[in-house]
Amino acid sequence: MPAAALFPLPTQSTSKRAVVLDLPYRPVEKRPLPPGRPREWYVTHNRRLKAMRLAIALLDSGVHVPQQARDEKIRSTAELIGVHPPSDTTCRMVRALMRYTR
């Protein structure tokens, strides 16, 4: 047996049995927002956070191009990961994030 076969490559799994992944998304621990900002700042901030969560979940699910991310797909992903359905504005923001990360 060649010596290279004894050591797995960095990209190979060392698990003896299959590992079941239920969802690729796990929400991070929430921290309080800074006080004293205008209401519009909080609305925009929360919209950006939701768009980032949705973009990450879509990328994890195999949607890599903004043209594949239709509103219906984004909303079904939101339901899957447990967030409220996004508005049309948030859906556009998700596609913009996917476009500019390439």
Listed by start position, the domains of the chain span 37-102
16, two tokens: 């003896």
Instruction: List the pLDDT tens digit at each of the 102 positions of the chain.
Output: 555 555 555 444 455 665 454 555 566 677 888 899 999 999 999 999 999 999 999 988 888 899 999 999 999 999 998 899 999 999 999 999 998 755
Q: Can you tell me the distance from the alpha carbon of 66 to that of 51, in angstroms, rounded to the nearest whole number?
A: 13
